[in-house]
Amino acid sequence: MNLKQALAHARGVLADNNIDDASLEGELLLRHVLGINRTRLYLDLEVDLSPAHEETMRQLFERRLRGEPSAYITGHREFFGLDFHVEHNVLIPRPESELLVEKAISLARNRPISIVADIGTGCGSIAVSLALNIHEAKIYATDVSAAALEVARVNCCKHEVIDRICLLQGDMLEPLPEPVDLIVANLPYVREVELPRSGPLSFEPVLALNGGPDGLAGINSLCYQAGSKLRPGGCILLEIGQGQAKAVTDLFGQIFPSSQIEVTNDLAGIERVVSLCLT
Ligand code: GLN
């Protein structure tokens, strides 16, 4: 089998199993097996696949067809135009979380933001994207999971922002050594009963998804801790799940009566980010 046939086979197998973006994923997985970039693949289409590569490809597609997300198989996921290393102990960055980063960058254009905290940083995709786009800010990135912080460290080093991001282990805002101007968080917000038992989401860490009975356990506890960790005029940006906007804006309004609160929809039209700025 040459690479052209392998590519067609890879795409066909994924499409037959109703995997979205079968064409893109098929190419991605094949390139991962071969350890080559896109240009090399298209230059080498007539080259034969070695028996060892053929066997690796077979094993890897077996994993994919059992539901494992390709980001865990390849160890990579793109977020905000950057390549991030991912492992099973971190959530795979989602395109909708780019909205959090965009909102944070636009806030930083309009207000003095010199200290930022990314709470529940996971693989560090949000913290790294912020460090590369809000140049003067010092960033704290926290997570309860030591294993996740190790992955975040790899990404901070890979993107050369390790000197700008202070990684701290601990629950919510507790590890922050000082109040900050901006808190950004994509906390677990899936309702416990809705946690998947099969499919791609079931491969992701429950710790990063489980938001308790109403999905809002983490968000609640962050909001109650935030008063003492925000500097005057500070802001909070939270990613939320579908249908959670009212509960979160009500909570914000209760805890911070003099603040500006706003909800922003993602590209799918779902209310995705709630922002609060102290006035
Ligand atoms: N957006 C994730 C999902 O795909 C949930 C992430 C989270 O709980 N923060 O359901």
Task: Note the pLDDT of residue 198.
Answer: 86
What whole-number distance in Å separates Cα of residue 108 and Cα of residue 278? Answer: 14
CATH 3.30.470.10 describes domain 90-278: no
In ligand 1, the atom with minimum distance to the C-alpha of 189 is 8
Ligand 1 centre to CA of 105 (Å) is 22
Q: What is the pLDDT of residues 81-116, one digit of tens each?
A: 999 999 999 999 999 999 999 999 999 999 999 999
In ligand 1, the atom with minimum distance to the C-alpha of 91 is 6
Residues 6 or more apart whose Cβ sits within 8 Å of residue 9: 1
Domain boundaries, the chain: 3-66, 90-278
In ligand 1, the atom with minimum distance to the C-alpha of 215 is 8
In ligand 1, the atom with minimum distance to the C-alpha of 94 is 1
What whole-number distance in Å separates Cα of residue 212 and Cα of residue 190? Answer: 7
Ligand 1 centre to CA of 264 (Å) is 16
Dihedral sign from CA coordinates of 134, 218, 85, 146: positive
Task: Note the pLDDT of residue 199.
Answer: 84
Ramachandran sector of residue 197 (left: φ over 0; alpha: ψ -120 to 50; beta: rest): alpha
Ligand 1 centre to CA of 64 (Å) is 20
The mean per-residue pLDDT over the stretch 40-56 comes to 95
The mean per-residue pLDDT over the stretch 207-228 comes to 96
| Mutation choice for ligand 1 from 121, 145, 184, 186, CB with most ligand atoms inside 8 A | 186
Closest C-alpha residue for ligand 1 atom 7: 188
What whole-number distance in Å separates Cα of residue 216 and Cα of residue 227? Answer: 18
In ligand 1, the atom with minimum distance to the C-alpha of 188 is 8
Closest C-alpha residue for ligand 1 atom 10: 190
Ligand 1 centre to CA of 204 (Å) is 10
97, 239 contact by CB (below 8 A): yes
Q: Residue 137 pLDDT > 90, yes or no? A: yes
Give the mean pLDDT of the chain. 96
241, 187 contact by CB (below 8 A): no
Give the number of residues written for the chain: 279
Residues 6 or more apart whose Cβ sits within 8 Å of residue 201: 195, 209
Alpha carbons within 13 angstroms on the beta-carbon side of residue 243 total 5
The mean per-residue pLDDT over the stretch 150-178 comes to 98
Residues having CB closer than 6 A to ligand 1 are 94, 186-190, 209
Ligand 1 centre to CA of 209 (Å) is 6
Ligand 1 centre to CA of 186 (Å) is 8
Ligand 1 centre to CA of 240 (Å) is 8
Q: What is the pLDDT of residues 181-211, one digit of tens each?
A: 999 999 999 999 999 888 889 999 999 999 9
In ligand 1, the atom with minimum distance to the C-alpha of 97 is 1
